[in-house]
Amino acid sequence: QQQVKQSPQSLIVQKGGISIINCAYENTAFDYFPWYQQFPGKGPALLIAIRPDVSEKKEGRFTISFNKSAKQFSLHIMDSQPGDSATYFCAASMTYAGKSTFGDGTTLTVKP
Amino acid sequence: DTGVSQDPRHKITKRGQNVTFRCDPISEHNRLYWYRQTLGQGPEFLTYFQNEAQLEKSRLLSDRFSAERPKGSFSTLEIQRTEQGDSAMYLCASSSTSGANVLTFGAGSRLTVL
């Protein structure tokens, strides 16, 4: 059962452009929604996260938008840079339950 | 603290052999997770520990897989009688119980079963 669906599978953006990655979840018990960034040969690393009591969170060039009623959340990368080229995973978890459920990832390529 | 360490980074084995992976979490983290990642997929949950107690195992986890965390420190993941379908990246992560489940991942152990 795929509880977190992520799109698109791949994304190509010009330097300076905006990258947008979307995720949808099914389980309304999820209460923590992180995004992870993964470079080749490395494990995923936490980029930014949000809880459902807020609709938006911004950290530098990275913003999460959260729509609780639609059960969707998205990652926006402003002023995308070649160094942002990586695979991005959304995830969802229930804090008391421990485990996180991940989307299938989006491979972002930022062209110079 | 150097983060989450995994060993070995790469393992090539023949079908039917047993393999064991080790994970050393961040010392102050009491939760430890194992995930499996295949090409083009997100990390798939296998199991997790809080201290030395194994609190959850995925229903997808075959009985050929076993994980331990003696004394609540490092953990091992053993795969017995490996199959070609076991070829994947095995990721270990750790977290604390306070606050949100912020996972810190290791670099992973890549298994290739010939």
Q: B55-75, pLDDT tens digit by residue?
A: 999 987 889 999 999 988 999
Residue B105: which of A4, A9, A45 has the nearest Cβ? A45
Do the Cβ atoms of A41 and B109 come closer than 8 Å?
A: no
Residues of B in contact with A24 (CB under 8 A): none
Residue A112, both tokens:
């110079």
Q: What is the DSSP string of A66-101?
A: EETTTTEEEEEESS--GGG-EEEEEEEE-TTT--EE
Report pLDDT digits (tens) over A49-108. 999 999 999 999 999 999 999 999 999 999 999 999 999 999 999 877 778 999 999 999
List of chain A residues whose C-beta atoms are within 8 Å of the C-beta of residue B104: 45-46
* Residue pLDDT, tens place only, B19-61: 999 999 999 899 999 999 998 899 999 999 999 999 999 987 8
Residue B97: pLDDT band with limits 50, 70, 90: confident
Residues of A in contact with B4 (CB under 8 A): 43
pLDDT of residue A98: 74
pLDDT over 70 at B18, yes or no: yes
Scanning A62-101 for CB atoms below 8 A from B yields: 89, 91, 93, 95, 97-101
Question: C-alpha distances in angstroms, B71 versus A53, A92, B28, B49?
Answer: 37, 29, 13, 11
Residues B89-93: what's their mean pLDDT?
97
